[in-house]
Amino acid sequence: MTTNSFLKELLRAFIIGTLIFLGFLSYYYFTDYVRFENMVDDIWLEYFSNLVFSSILYMVNMAWFLFLLKKWDNFLYTVQRMSIALLGNVVMTCIGIFVATFIVLIGFHDRSIQQALTSQSIDNYFQSVFIALVIASIFYIVWYYKYRQENKVKEQKIIAGTASAKFDALKNQLDPHFLFNSLNVLTSLIEEDPYQAQKFTTSLSKVYRYVLEQKNKDLVTVDEELQFARTYVRLLKMRFEDSIVFDIPEKSLNPEAKIIPLSLQLLLENAVKHNVVTSERPLHIKVIEKDGMLQVSNNLQEKQVVKKSSGVGLTNIQQRYAILTDRRVQIEKAASDFSVRLPMLTKQVSKVETQEVYIEDKRYEKAKERVENIKGFYGNLTSYIIVIPILVFINYNTTSFPWAIFPALGWGFGLTVHGLEAFGYNPFYGKKWEERKMREFMEDENF
């Protein structure tokens, strides 16, 4: 946690502590006037004591929350992880109460360490842990709402950007300079070696035929891509002769394995584009299978003068993988070599998935998710209507302290947020705010 974020969270702790203090002050004013008068007589002492407790409890629970976010990469919302999170909140709260009690008793009431130890009360722990859990639950609910909204923005941006990404991938799969250079090579071969010119033309036609055949597919078998890569390299070797050394397996170890079409060609094109390729400094390109990945590596001998790379090739490969799987393309650059690892997918693909099919599936998933959220809200509402009266009844017949108000308010707040999310309504910004905000993020190139 940086200094700025620490100060920001500390300010929030002060605000929450002040609101809690005002809440207790209001409660005692209406229910226990004697206790209210005692608090008013020494209001600053009461206020700062409350502030010590609330600040310490807030900061230790926030530290625990940030630790969980870092450990689980922002994805907390499974039954097991939320159980661990809430249990951790209980432990951190108990530690915070112990420390805060010492500070208040020794610092504000001039007690000794021994007196501070003997003054520890189970009731204080129970009440503070309960309040901390209610606040933590509200915080988790609010964070979940924010997490879902951010995911919706990213999902919509992916859907809207997929067509553009696929178009750019097709547009940039074969660099115009490659075609220009290939035609130059073909022109020279026609005069020098008509037989080689014929082979070159055949290979060139195969390259473009493959591009046209695979442009709408999401995945092709690794064997198909390896075969295409060998055809493509034959063109390169006719141009660069022995300046390129290419090592590639004949077939994949797993015949069912699939990768993104034309990804190998893009990587080969990048290797030739960004590195020196001469007979004195040959370019060594190696393709191997390793740990379920297809690794393409080459020795690094970057050109001194080269036009600024747009990164379109690697970006498109990464985007297309992101649409189909959670596995990521791995890029490693060392002092002497450069390598890219492409995930080999083993999931069967029964049909060619076009852009329209993908968008239709995403719409169905979104509609299904909305229905599930509404059903979940009604279930939550039913539970609230049943459970809260039971808690009020138990509270009324056991103690005069109205502890039932805390689950009623905490759960009620969460239920309200759940309902707003389920029905897609934001009372603060209007129904069109989410759509406008999504469009704003989608149009932001730095998002």
The domain locations on the chain are 1-120, 173-349
What is the average pLDDT across 198-208?
Answer: 80
Over residues 178-205, mean pLDDT:
76
From the list 116, 93, 114, the residue with the least C-alpha distance to 104 is 116
CATH domain 173-349 topology: Heat Shock Protein 90 (3.30.565)
CA distance 288 to 286: 7
DSSP run (H or E) holding 245: strand 244-247
Instruction: Determine the average pLDDT of the residues in 349-354.
Output: 42
The pLDDT of residue 353 is 45
Do residues 89 and 97 make contact, with C-beta atoms less than 8 angstroms apart? no
Is 428 or 154 the better-scoring residue by pLDDT? 154
Percent pLDDT > 90 in the chain is 8
User: H-helix or E-strand containing 286?
Assistant: strand 283-290
Can you give the pLDDT at residue 351?
38
The pLDDT of residue 256 is above 80? yes
Confidence label for 352 from pLDDT (cuts 50, 70 and 90): very low
103 or 350, higher pLDDT: 103
Looking at residue 438, its pLDDT comes to 58
- Amino acid 395: pLDDT: 77
According to the 3-state scheme, what is the secondary structure of 186-207?
HHHHHHHCHHHHHHHHHHHHHH
Per residue in 217-237, pLDDT (tens digit) is: 778 899 999 988 888 888 888
Phi, psi of 259 (to 5 degrees): -140, 175
Q: What percent of the chain has pLDDT over 70?
A: 76
DSSP-derived 3-state class of residue 119: coil
**Which two structure tokens, joined as six digits, stand for 436?**
């406008």
SS3 call for 290? strand
Residue 17 confidence (pLDDT): 79
Helices (H) and strands (E) in the chain — how many of each? 14, 7
Least confident range of 30-39, 59-68, 70-79, 189-198: 30-39
CB within 8 A of 411, min separation 6: which ones?
384, 387, 388
